[in-house]
């Protein structure tokens, strides 16, 4: 079983392009291959969580090297890069696909745009095979600066938040640090489970975000830049107001309802 998992979950793909110089050089410069398995996972995870800052790329189906070059990403693009880094340091991994309700993105999506945004947004996290069991990794999406700003703004009122890229019932102490167990930061916004995929390539061959022609162009060339500007404001401590919105009461998945090992 282990050999089969290694063959399936350690390979290169067009999106998991860790056979190129960019990812190989990063791993060599950081010395990750000299670490034990637990710390190899932690090094790759922490790098993607905080050194690839939260932001919106031009597309979900970007190669890992392109996400690395951008220096920012969201759930799907960060997941691709994390998978590439993990496989490059000999950690078997796979992708778990979902959709999240658009309310999780409210506050980042401008209010003018929010009514025409798709109701469900493509989402994914990474699952790793570590010490004989599969562990879910989703807590890498938001960098510490963004999360800290949201905690400062909302924790005094309520420990649950669904908005601003967060979906958690534990905003004051979300399970985002690598400690050998599951990590989550958007789980309570999930509204559909799309299943497991060996590579991001397999996932995007079956599922694409349904923006439509004009909305897709607007997203790529205008809306995502507007969203990234709002993320930068949040990172600096200026959290946009959502008018007449309940950001702490949207619950789609009960604890343990998806992704349990």
* Domains with residue ranges and CATH for the chain: 2-235 (3.10.620)
- The model's pTM is 0.92
How far apart, in whole angstroms, are the C-alpha atoms of residue 49 and residue 184? Answer: 12
Task: Please give the average per-residue pLDDT across 120-140, as a whole number.
Answer: 98
More confident: 253 or 218: 218
What is the token pair recorded at 1?
Answer: 């079983």
Average pLDDT over residues 162-177: 98
User: Residue 4's pLDDT is what?
Assistant: 55
pLDDT exceeds cutoff 60 at 172? yes
What is the reported pLDDT for 36?
Answer: 99
Q: Which structure tokens are listed for 258?
A: 């998806």
Cα distance between residue 254 and residue 197, in whole Å: 23
The β-bridge partners of 124 are 97
| Residues 76, 200: Cα–Cα separation, whole Å | 9
pLDDT in tens, 65-114: 999 999 999 999 999 999 999 999 999 999 999 999 999 999 999 999 99
pLDDT above 70 (res 246): no
Could you list the beta-strand ranges (E) of the chain: 53-54, 72-73, 93-101, 120-130, 133-137, 161-163, 166-168, 190-197
Whether residue 149 has pLDDT greater than 50: yes
What average pLDDT does the segment 9-36 reach?
A: 98
Average pLDDT, the chain: 92
Q: How many CA atoms lie within 13 A of 47 on its CB side?
A: 22
- Tokens found for residue 190: 């999930």
């Amino acid at each position: 079983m282990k050999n089969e998992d290694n063959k399936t979950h350690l390979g290169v793909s067009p999106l998991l392009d860790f056979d190129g110089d960019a990812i190989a050089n990063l791993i060599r410069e950081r010395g990750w291959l000299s670490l034990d398995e637990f710390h190899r996972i932690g090094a790759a995870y922490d790098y993607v969580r905080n050194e690839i800052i939260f932001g919106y790329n031009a597309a979900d189906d970007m190669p890992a090297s392109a996400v690395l070059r951008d220096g920012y990403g969201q759930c799907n693009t960060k997941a691709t890069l994390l998978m590439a880094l993990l496989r490059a340091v000999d950690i078997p991994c796979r992708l778990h696909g979902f959709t999240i309700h658009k309310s999780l993105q409210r506050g980042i999506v401008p209010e003018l745009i929010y009514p025409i945004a798709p109701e469900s947004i493509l989402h994914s996290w990474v699952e790793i095979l570590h010490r004989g069991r599969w562990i879910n990794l989703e807590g890498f999406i938001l960098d510490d600066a963004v999360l800290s700003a949201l905690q400062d703004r909302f924790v005094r009122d309520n420990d649950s938040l669904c908005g601003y890229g967060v979906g958690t019932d534990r905003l004051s102490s979300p399970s985002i640090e690598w400690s050998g167990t599951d990590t989550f930061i958007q789980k309570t916004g999930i509204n559909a489970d799309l299943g497991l995929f060996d590579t991001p390539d397999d996932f995007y061959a079956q599922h694409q975000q349904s923006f439509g022609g004009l909305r897709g162009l607007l997203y790529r060339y205008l809306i995502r830049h507007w969203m990234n500007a709002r993320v930068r404001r949040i990172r600096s401590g200026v959290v946009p107001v959502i008018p007449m919105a309940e950001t702490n009461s949207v619950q789609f998945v009960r604890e343990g309802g998806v992704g349990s090992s």
